[in-house]
């Protein structure tokens, strides 16, 4: 179990036990291990797309700022909050 505390310098990648697909224009994640599903909004889908390869949280935030109208601090906090949920659900790995 990975108990790393996420910060802007953390490098994130998808866990291998996650399936994703688009259903009715929404991205859905499923943990193969638990069978749990998570529906993603547009911002969360963009984050998930960015971590198809290992990325630092700061790089993810930088890319999101180019895609969405959001203040830097809000983007950083919301990204970390979402990634913490994914980490708790064991859907991401932290390098």
pLDDT digits (tens, 9 = 90+) for 5-15: 899 999 999 99
Where does the pLDDT of residue 90 fall: very low under 50, low under 70, confident under 90, or very high at 90 and above?
very high
What pLDDT digit, counting tens, does each position of 35-79 carry? 999 999 999 999 999 999 999 999 999 999 999 999 999 999 999
Q: Does residue 18 contact residue 10 with C-beta atoms inside 8 Å?
A: no
Domain boundaries along the sequence of the chain: 11-94
* Residues 46, 50: Cα–Cα separation, whole Å: 6
**Lookup: tokens for 44:** 């969360």
pLDDT value of position 3? 55
Mapped onto helix, strand or coil, the DSSP state of residue 42 is: helix
Q: Is 11-94 a CATH 3.40.50.1970 domain? A: no
């Amino acid at each position: 179990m990975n108990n790393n505390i996420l910060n802007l310098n953390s490098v994130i990648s998808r866990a291998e036990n996650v399936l994703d697909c688009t259903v009715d224009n929404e991205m859905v994640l499923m943990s193969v291990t638990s069978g749990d599903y998570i529906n993603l909004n547009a911002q969360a889908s963009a984050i998930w797309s960015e971590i198809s390869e290992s990325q630092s949280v700061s790089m993810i935030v930088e890319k999101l700022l180019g895609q969405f109208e959001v203040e830097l601090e809000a983007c950083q906090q919301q990204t970390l909050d979402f990634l913490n949920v994914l980490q708790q659900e064991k859907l991401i790995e932290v390098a």
